[in-house]
Amino acid sequence: MPAREQLSGETRIRMAILQIPRGKVSTYGAIAKAAGLPGYARQVAKVLHRAYGLPWQRVLGSGGEIKLRGDSGLEQRFRLEAEGVRFRGRRVDMKAHEYKFAKR
């Protein structure tokens, strides 16, 4: 496998998303940072928009907020609740469910 630095940003983002286990969540910003692209949270959203097979429901806005609107947001919440993720009002209980990436 190529060295991490040789992988494309999209590949590194996909790899970071795939690390998030069932019942855990992360934020767009934390995923970008874990992929070695701090400050590129919007790039994470772009990758999710065109990717298939990624656990998209586990990716949230800062503070555990579901950023999707309408039916997509409802589906995201339903999928997370099916994985055992708890909410505090409209946000995920990040203290209980935030996935912490290993330090690079």
Task: Say what the pLDDT of residue 5 is.
Answer: 57
Q: How many CA atoms lie within 13 A of 66 on its CB side?
A: 26
Inside any domain, residue 36 = yes
Tell me the H-state helices in the chain. 9-19, 28-34, 41-50, 70-82, 94-97
Q: What is the mean pLDDT of the chain?
A: 93
Inside any domain, residue 24 = yes
Task: Say what the pLDDT of residue 103 is.
Answer: 79
Inside any domain, residue 29 = yes
Inside any domain, residue 8 = yes
Inside any domain, residue 104 = no
Residue 2: pLDDT band with limits 50, 70, 90: low
List all residues 6 or more positions away from 43 whose beta carbon is below 8 Å from its beta carbon: 9, 10, 13, 32, 37
Q: What total number of domains does the chain contain?
A: 1
List the domain range (segments joined by +) for residue 54.
Answer: 4-97
* Cα–Cα distance, 81 to 11 (Å, whole number): 28
Inside any domain, residue 68 = yes
Inside any domain, residue 103 = no
Inside any domain, residue 102 = no
Q: What digits encode the pLDDT tens for the residues 56-91? A: 999 999 999 999 999 999 999 999 999 999 999 999
CATH classification at residue 89: 1.10.10.10
Q: Is the pLDDT assigned to residue 42 strictly greater than 80? A: yes
